[in-house]
Amino acid sequence: MKGIVLAGGTGSRLWPITHGVSKQLLPVYDKPMIHYPVATLMLAGIRKIAIITSPWDKESFKKVLGDGSRFGVEFKYLIQEHPRGIAEAFTISEEYISGDRCALILGDNLFHGVGLGRHLSEYSQIKGAQIFAYRVNDPERYGVVSFNQDGKIETLEEKPTNPKSSFAVPGLYFYDNQVFEITRSLKPSARNELEITAVNEAYLALNQLNVSILPSGTAWMDTGTFSSLHDASSYIRAIQERQGSKIGCLEEIAFKQGWITREDLEIIIADYQNTDFAKYLSDCLTNQE
């Protein structure tokens, strides 16, 4: 399975702070936003990841993330010329995914929960599609899934004015390789976008769409507004200071997954010099002895 991080767009909801920098490169407490969705894919065991971004932000992402070897993974940078919907990610990445299964995560979505990586890794051999549901107070901002009395999917709606449920569909999706053929058959919506909801509806029509409510204790944040960006930073700070462990630390994940060696991590620690990150990673090494 390969991963896709969709990190394009204009970040217009965060103007003026995104006039000169990609939204996904803004800090969420002590890391660039992009680290968190990449971490989610890495925790799910995914090592080949396409980063989809705009032409003008590509070099900035490469400067932040490199080619992935630092984290024991591979990054492939792909260009989205203009934002034309989430499902366009499959059109852009089809050649790179090359018939494999894939996981798509939105670059401004943050997930955190105990055992979440192990849970997500169960979908590496998925047949059909897997989406998730998360209860929110403002479902009209998202794709919404409703259920019938038997707990089966009844409807899927994209940002409905009058939502039929309070269950939003977070920006994390797992698909088999049918997704590319499905995407090629899509017509742009009234918003002139290739909608991810339309992809999920196609799988639903094939009776191949599965939905799971995210496990209790899992946090999901869409950091696309000023308030949600602030909330995410506050959440990361509170959890890290209380528990003493970092969320979304790519070097730590790579080391614990066995994708980089102790020697690799020692080089990274030296590169971070006299910083809190260097001390934290040093403690990771000590704790593994």
Q: Which two tokens stand for residue 129?
A: 């599609």
pLDDT in tens, 206-238: 999 999 998 778 999 999 899 999 999 999 999
Please indicate, yes or no, whether residues 284 and 191 belong to a single structural domain of this protein.
no
Tens digits of residue pLDDT in 158-196 = 889 999 999 999 999 999 999 999 999 999 998 889 999
Query: Looking at residue 224, what is its pLDDT?
Result: 86
CB under 8 Å to 239, separation ≥6 — which residues? 112, 247
pLDDT score of 287: 81
* Same domain flag for 178 and 286: no
Residue 270 CB burial class (10 angstroms; 0-12, 13-18, ≥19): exposed
What pLDDT is recorded for position 150?
A: 83
- Rounded CA separation 18/84 (Å): 19
Do 186 and 47 share a structural domain? yes
Q: Are residues 76 and 93 in the same domain?
A: yes
Structural domain of 282:
260-289
Residue 96 lies in a domain: yes
Domain membership flag for residue 145: no
Contact 75, 67 (CB under 8 A): yes
Q: Does residue 22 belong to any structural domain of this protein? A: yes
Please give the pLDDT value at position 289.
62
User: Is position 124 within any domain?
Assistant: yes
Spell out, as residue ranges, where the chain has pLDDT lower than 70. Answer: 289
Domain CATH for 124:
3.90.550.10
Tokens of 266: 């020692």
Structure tokens at 260: 């980089």
